[in-house]
Each structure stands twice: as structure tokens, then as C-alpha cells.
Amino acid sequence: MSRALNRRLKSWPGWALITAALVVVFAVAASADRGPLDEGDRIDAISRRIACPVCDGESVFESRNPASEGIRAAVVTAVEEGRLDDDGIIAAVADAYGAQVLLVPRTDGLDALAWALPVAAGVIAVFGLAVAFRRWRDAALLDGPVSDDDRRLVARRRERTDASSGDDSDA
């Protein structure tokens, strides 16, 4: 009983360190400066986040389709007027053309699942692997140390394998 407790205490600091490192990485990423400085950079950044409603897999920034030109003109007007922030402009375009024009999914409602499901799957997978590895380790410990009979059995099998592989090499 104390042996299992000792192992458990030795393993939790590593997990705590990994968790703390992940929290720091996410905090730094969340607090990073995202805003472009001038209007041209803002227009480009917004245009890169909106898909061309006609083209396949192309952003409004890249496309020269008339539909994209119209969206880009609306973005330029909205940025110059200063009435909406970047997310507000993108939301207005999405309301006008539908959510399929968003190259980056929203972070609220059902669209948040696009962000949450991969993270949840990763956490569940890591947890499942940890449980599986622990079970395998505990099962190996229950078998006990290797006995002399086991060593003799392996030695005999190796001798047979070596003898049969030696016959094949002579042929």
C-alpha cells in the first residue's frame, strides 16, 4: 500500500509541471498583441479571415472575383468609418453572406465546438493512454520477478531458433 502511494506521489509533480507549463503557454498566447496598427493592415487582416463566397478555399484577400471585391469594399468602408471593430465587421459580413464565409470559426455557440472538440479529444486520449499504461505496468508487477524456469524456457526456445536459422543459412 505504501509503495503505491509512494509511486503516486512521485508522479504527480511531473503532471503538475506539465499542467503549469500549458497554462503559461495558453496565457501568453491569449494575451499576445493581435491588433494591426494601421487601417491597411486591419483591412488585410479582416479580408484574410473571410472566404470568397464564390471561390473554393480562397480568402477575400486573395480572390479577384467581383463578389470578393464587393466584400473587400464593404470592409474598407467599415474600417474607414470606424463604427465596428474587426469582429463586428466579420460578423456583419457573416450575417449578410452566411457563416460559410468564415475561414476561422466563431468562438461562441455551436461554432465553438470546432475549437473545443479537438482539445477535448486530445485530453481524453492522453488520459486514456495514462490509464492503459498504468494498468499494463501494474499487471507486469503482479506477475512478479522472472523465475529460473522462465529463463530456462527462453534459453531453450532461443537454442531452437538459432539451430533452425542456422539450417536455413546452410541451404
Inter-residue contact 90 to 49 (CB < 8 Å):
yes
Amino acid symbol at 76: V
Domain-terminating residue out of 73, 104, 135 = 104
> Quick one: 86 and 127 in the same domain?
no
Q: What pLDDT does 4 receive?
A: 66
Percent of the chain with pLDDT over 70: 82
The neighbour count for residue 121, using CB atoms within 10 Å, is 10
Query: Would 11 be classed as within a structural domain?
Result: no
Average pLDDT of the residues in 56-70 = 89
The neighbour count for residue 126, using CB atoms within 10 Å, is 11
Q: What pLDDT does 171 receive?
A: 46
Q: What pLDDT does 107 receive?
A: 67
DSSP state of 144: -
Q: What pLDDT does 23 receive?
A: 87
pLDDT digits (tens, 9 = 90+) for 88-107: 999 898 888 887 888 876 66
* Full-model pTM: 0.48
Cell of 102: 468564415
Average pLDDT of the residues in 134-161 = 87
Q: How many residues does the chain have?
A: 171
Helices (H), the chain: 2-30, 39-48, 66-81, 86-97, 113-143, 148-170
Query: Would 4 be classed as within a structural domain?
Result: no
Number of structural domains in the chain: 2
Inter-residue contact 51 to 103 (CB < 8 Å):
yes
Average pLDDT of the residues in 18-39 = 76
**Using CA of residue 67, residue 59, residue 49, residue 77, what is the dihedral sign?**
negative
Query: Would 115 be classed as within a structural domain?
Result: yes
Q: Would you call 50 helix, strand, or coil by DSSP?
A: strand
Percent of the chain with pLDDT over 90: 26
Q: Would you call 102 helix, strand, or coil by DSSP?
A: strand
Q: What pLDDT does 140 receive?
A: 76
pLDDT digits (tens, 9 = 90+) for 109-120: 776 777 788 999
Query: Would 129 be classed as within a structural domain?
Result: yes
Q: What pLDDT does 167 receive?
A: 57
Query: Would 32 be classed as within a structural domain?
Result: no
Query: Would 84 be classed as within a structural domain?
Result: yes
Residues 6+ apart with CB under 8 A from 86: 35, 42, 45, 46
Query: Would 75 be classed as within a structural domain?
Result: yes
Cell of 119: 482539445
**CATH classification of the domain holding 43:** 1.10.8.640
Q: Which domain holds residue 67?
A: 39-104
- Top pLDDT among 9 and 124 is at 124
Average pLDDT of the residues in 13-36 = 75
Domain-terminating residue out of 75, 104, 133 = 104
Query: Would 66 be classed as within a structural domain?
Result: yes
> Quick one: 75 and 129 in the same domain?
no
> Quick one: 90 and 115 in the same domain?
no
> Quick one: 99 and 118 in the same domain?
no
